[in-house]
Amino acid sequence: MTHRTRLWLVALVVGGLLVALPGAAVAQTDTATSDTPSVSDEVSDLRRIKHRALHAIDKRLHTIKRLANRVEDSGTVTDAHAETLLVDLRDAAEGLGELARKIKAAETIEELRELVPLIATDFRIYQVVKPKVVEVLASDRVVAATVRLTELGDKLEMLLERAANAGYDVTRPKIVLERMRLNVAAAAELAGPVADMVIDLQPEDWPDPAKALLREGRARIDKSVDQLHHAKYRAKKIMRWLRNLADPPVDLSELD
């Protein structure tokens, strides 16, 4: 291995570029004494590459732990989705742990050249695993919010009927309520399918179809959140109208 090749390999790993290196680059040799690295240089490079690689694995393991905590702490994720996500996270952690052991045991830079790129290519923590978990949790969270808003809409409708029976003109708040229901339905339609759309994605699905599906999932979640915001705004508008009645014919505690 030439001095230039050795430094290039170290720079790639130290710089965080976990990519496969061309075989020809490592195969090149130079017999000039001044260009031949010493054994101590090789050992130093080996340690440096291992350190950077293990640090990259450690970062991913911490990410996996944070994601697992988010799944376990979620109050809206379904049991089935939680189980699937936690199994995937456990498998990724175990796989990275095994890869770390192989990297620690490696005795040559050539071995590391084969092992280090696997940190990215075999696990895709940041391209697939993390966004998948985030989108599944968001999907279930939006769906749970639409259920609560649907229940709130039913309650508001009942209160408006009482107000109408008491002689109040409820035409405008009923229009607002109808628009609120449309927002809730749109949010459910947008976010509902996302969890099942992305939950089975695996590292080997990158880039196709994972990249496109995750992008679509993110867009659907963002749009659904906008719909929720509109729905909540309209619900509050109706509640203000009810509270501002001169002689409320409803029990306002029912709005809390």
Q: Could you state, in chain order, the average pLDDT of each consecutive group of 10 residues for the chain (256 residues)?
A: 36 37 33 48 88 98 98 98 98 98 96 97 98 98 98 96 93 97 98 98 98 98 98 96 78 60
State whether residue 54 is helix, strand or coil. helix
pLDDT for residue 39: 57
pLDDT for residue 255: 58
CA angle 155, 159, 161 (to 5 degrees): 115
pLDDT for residue 161: 95
**How many Å apart are CA 5 and CA 102, to the nearest integer?**
23
What contacts 94, CB < 8 A, 6 or more positions away?
A: none
This prediction's pTM? 0.81
Phi-psi map region of 114: left, alpha, beta (phi>0 left; psi -120 to 50 alpha): alpha
**How many Å apart are CA 178 and CA 40, to the nearest integer?**
76
**Contact between 139 and 191 (Cβ < 8 Å):** yes
pLDDT for residue 122: 98
